Amino acid sequence: MPARLRNLELVLLLVACAINGAAMALVQLGAVGSIDTSVIALGGGLAVLVFAMHIALRIVAPQADPFILPIVTVLNGLGIAMIYRLDLADGVSGWESAGVRQIAWSALAIAIAIGVVVVIRNHRVLQRYRYIAMFAGIVLLLLPMLPGLGHRVYGAQVWIKLGGFTFQPGELAKIALAIFFAAYLVDSRDSLSMVGKKFLGIRFPRARDLGPILVIWAAAMVVLIFQRDLGTSLLYFGMFLVMIYVATGRASWVFLGLGLFLGGAVVAGTTLGYVEGRFRGWLDPFNPEVYEAVGGSYQLVQGLFGIANGGLIGTGLGLGRPDLIPLANSDYIVASLTEELGLAGLFVILCLYLLFVSRGFRIGFSAQDDFGRLLGVGLSFVVALQVFIVIGGVTRVIPLTGLTTPFLAAGGSSLVANWIIAALLLRLSDTIRSQPRLVV
């Protein structure tokens, strides 16, 4: 029942806001021994916006999933608390602090999410704009490579800079490309799934049908070579691969895709110095030569020591030394949180992501239309893959990449994009539950 769903969401939001407020207070008490009410008030403003989105859902999407908004609220709040805690360690306060800027970006992201839920009344409308989404995704992907506009940060050229304002357009590109992939695969599913020759019991696609995956693979390699961004190239290609598998049900696409990407990664690892450095830092991080080299394993080792220092239950919010980790508020915010919350806290954060992704998959697979199914799965999987790439790199499961942790890490472009994903999943869930069901 719609009222019951929204009431459950309201209760969970109250719990989420209480957790966020307690985290901010504990950070201040642990780091400086007092509470700054002005920062708490700014956090309260975010809570007002979150409840405004809850009210908007009651009006325009009463049957939306009740768990998604509380989950992203907790993750966003924990990220702000840790970013502000690092500001306190560095002695930065006021509008110069990354924590206050993150609050401002969060307010903008929530406002945009409210707009998405209110303006888009049915997800199927997006299917009409498939080619606009394709064009927008490609433009956003290539913008950082334009002379005078692209901005290189720590070796990766994935940012654009206009005056004193920087933005990562690739974060929005993944949403546009997910919409295009879903619409394209709905139209081309039959030719991609029903024809082709069998080999070893697996039906492989025809040569003429390999075009889409080759184009996406080429785009991923362009990002890897020219933008020096291994994580983003893996993210785009992985998202398309999963969506084409869901659309066709053919394992051959997975084998072909993995073969293409692994081949490209091997070539890049042997010919591109920055990719080779990532692999060396991953395989032998405690080697003094690798540790001290430019682009070596210093950051990875510092993060591992921080995680080890946290132990099972952590040092406590505000009581650790996450400021010793490079990029502790962005690429390595997971290591910072694990040091102060411990492995128990990390498992809780992973469970929140797991619940978010599982709700997204449930929304996608519940859709009666193919576009909604593919869009829901694609948007959910891109969050899951991004979390795996980031946390896997921090914990040395896979080579380190430069992606941000969804909802947690500092950065306005990532925050806006992931709140839009949450809003689209909310709209999908309401549309799916509201449409008539076929009774057999």
pLDDT in tens, 84-142: 999 988 887 666 788 888 999 999 999 999 999 999 988 889 988 888 888 888 888 88
pLDDT, residue 170, reads 81
Between the alpha carbon of residue 429 and those of residues 12, 176, 383, the distances in Å are: 18, 19, 17
Residue 186 lies in a domain: yes
Residue 149 lies in a domain: yes
Task: Please identify which residue in the block is written with the tokens 């809003």.
Answer: 423
Under 8 Å between Cβ of 31 and 89: yes
Under 8 Å between Cβ of 143 and 160: yes
Centroid of chain to Cα 197: 37
Number of domains making up the chain: 1
What is the three-class DSSP state of 313? Answer: coil
CA 146/CA 168 separation, integer angstroms: 13
Residue 336 lies in a domain: no
Q: Output the CA angle 429-439-367, nearest 5 degrees.
A: 25
CA 336/CA 330 separation, integer angstroms: 10
* Tokens at 163, concatenated: 């005056």
pLDDT, residue 215, reads 72
Reference 422, options 146, 192, 115, 186; nearest CA is: 115
Under 8 Å between Cβ of 430 and 99: no
Q: State the DSSP H helix or E strand holding residue 157, giving kind and residue range, or none if neither.
A: strand 156-162
Task: Please identify which residue in the block is written with the tokens 């099972």.
Answer: 312
Centroid of chain to Cα 330: 12
Q: Return the half-sphere exposure (C-beta side, CA atoms, 13 A cut-off) of residue 376.
A: 29
Between the alpha carbon of residue 163 and those of residues 150, 166, 227, 321, 373, the distances in Å are: 12, 8, 21, 34, 41
Reference 423, options 360, 346, 330, 370; nearest CA is: 360
Most confident option among 20-24, 144-148, 211-215, 323-327: 20-24
- Helices then strands, counting H and E runs in the chain, come out as 15, 5
Residue 182 lies in a domain: yes
pLDDT digits (tens, 9 = 90+) for 50-93: 999 999 999 999 999 999 999 999 999 999 999 999 998 888 76
pLDDT digits (tens, 9 = 90+) for 354-380: 999 999 999 998 888 889 999 999 999
What does 223-288 look like in DSSP terms, one character per residue?
A: HHHHS--HHHHHHHHHHHHHHHHHHH--HHHHHHHHHHHHHHHHHHHHH-HHHHHHHHHHH-TT-H
What does 118-157 look like in DSSP terms, one character per residue?
A: HH-S-GGGGGGGHHHHHHHHHHHHHGGGSTTTEEEETTEE
Residue 230 lies in a domain: yes
Q: What is the mean pLDDT of residues 195-213?
A: 58
Reference 102, options 327, 404, 411; nearest CA is: 411
Q: Who has greater pLDDT, 203 or 16?
A: 16
Inform me whether the pLDDT recorded for 439 exceeds 60. no
Task: Please identify which residue in the block is written with the tokens 């998202």.
Answer: 239
Residue 164 lies in a domain: yes
Residue 315 lies in a domain: no
pLDDT digits (tens, 9 = 90+) for 283-302: 888 888 887 776 678 888 99
Find the domain containing 240 and state its range. Answer: 125-271
Taking residue 183's Cβ as centre, other Cβ atoms within 10 Å add up to: 23
Q: What secondary structure letter does DSSP report for 405?
A: P
Taking the model in full, what pTM does it have?
Answer: 0.91
CA 426/CA 69 separation, integer angstroms: 8
Residue 266 lies in a domain: yes
The one-letter amino acid code at 176 reads A
For 2, phi then psi, to 5°, come to: -55, -45
CA 43/CA 28 separation, integer angstroms: 13
Taking residue 392's Cβ as centre, other Cβ atoms within 10 Å add up to: 15
